[in-house]
Structures are given as C-alpha cells and as structure tokens.
Amino acid sequence: MNPEEFRQALAKYQIELDHHQMDQFAQYYQDLVTTNKMVNLTRITEENEVYLKHFYDSITGALALPKLQTASLTLCDIGAGAGFPSLPLKIAFPQLKVTIVDSLNKRISFLQELVDRLGLTDVTLVHARAEDFSKKGSPNREHFDVVTARAVARLSVLSELCLPAAKVGGIFLAYKAQAADDEIAASKAALQKLGGTIRSTYQLELPTVPVPEERNLIIIDKEQSTPNKYPRRAGLPAKKPL
C-alpha cells in the first residue's frame, strides 16, 4: 500500500486526509526508518508495509469505534512503542487528546521529537510501566474515555494493564490479529474482576498480497470501577494472568 493507495483506502470509509496530513504521514515514515537504524522501533520498514501494517492498521480503530473520528475524546495508548495506534489516529483526527505510555525512554524520546516535528498538540508522553501508570492514587486512574493497546500482550494480561486507566463508561479498544475468540474466552474471568464487559468484535482484513490478513478490534466497555488492588505490581500481570 503506497501513500496514495493509503489515502484512497481511507476515503472509501469517508475518512479524507488533506495534503498536510499526508505530509505528516510521510515525515512519520522518514523519521521512523531513520531512528530505527539506531533504536529498535519496528521490524517493518518498507514503505508499502509501514503504510499498510502500521498507519492503515492503526486507523482501523476508528472504523470499529466511529466516535474517534469526530469527538474530542481523551485517548490513552498503553505500550505504544513507535506510536501505534495513537499517533496515526491523532494525525487523521486532530481533535483527539492523546496520552502515550511506554516503558522504554528511547522510544519516548523518539516520539517527543516526532510530535514536535509534526506540530501535533494535545499529545502527552509518559515514560512508565503500565502497572505504575494507573495504580491506586494515580491521577491517570479511571481518567480516559478510550484506552488502546496494539500487539502488546494477550487480552487477559492487557485487560489488567489497560482497564484501570479507562473511566467508568469509557472503552478499552484492543487491537488483535487472529485467534481473537480464544483470547476472549480466556479473558472472561479477568474482565469480570476488572469491571469490563465485551461489547463486540469488529472484524476486517488488511489487503495484503497474496493472502489478506485478519484483524480483530475488540471493544470492551468499562462498566464498573476497577478494584484498587489492580493493576498488581510490575511484571505480575504477565507472569500470573488473572
């Protein structure tokens, strides 16, 4: 998917990118591949693949959750790495107020330079472990309208990292590839403990050649407050999932 194909693919869903936004994506790509030579940000570096598997894939969250396209929501991206999905969403929908959390300071430094270069506003970058970011007493706890995570961990683990940051009435949007049904089944106990309920799964295919790649966007409603004992201390959610 080259840049023009990227623009056209989004236009099919009435998501129109102007010249400035396309320039921002082009700069994003250049900075990504340049920094990736020094800091491990992504294994995907070919332009066509970055536009498809990082930029386009990130924006599919706004197909699953259309209010991301128009509402001035607070969005928190847990374990964003090189900024996916939050920064492509921010470029496409500038009204979003984005907070990015990552445990590696080198990635946060890259993202800060990128945000400054792109002229993005209402973007906050936080160097922290997810378990510490929204623990009891943190101002980030149950604060955000939408919390996202992409390719970070299994859903049973992600739920403990992400749901504590979502406000009651908010949403946790999990980006998943295949086997979403298995992960959903395995996460039921965790979701119940953490105050979340799965609303639906939005399924689509990335137009990869020769075989399209399956994607699943799991929409989880934060219906009840998360008990104060969650998230547990750093490392424990991954070692001992709920």
| DSSP letters spanning 120-131 | --SEEEEES-HH
Q: How many CA atoms lie within 13 A of 219 on its CB side?
A: 17
Q: Answer yes or no: is 131 a known binding residue.
A: yes
Residues 6 or more apart from 58 whose CB is under 8 A from it? Answer: 84, 85, 86, 87, 88, 89, 150, 175
For residue 220, give both structure tokens.
Answer: 């989880």
Cα–Cα distance, 157 to 236 (Å, whole number): 9
124-154 as b/e, with b when 16 or more CB fall inside 10 Å?
ebbbbbbbebbbeeeebbbbbbbbbbbebbb
Looking up tokens 């799965």 gives 198
Supply φ then ψ for residue 216, to 5 degrees. -130, 125
Q: Answer yes or no: is 150 a known binding residue.
A: yes
For residue 28, give both structure tokens.
Answer: 């994003």
Q: Answer yes or no: is 144 a known binding residue.
A: no
Which residue numbers belong to the known binding site for S-adenosyl-L-methionine? 79, 84, 130-131, 150
Which residue numbers belong to the known binding site? 79, 84, 130-131, 150
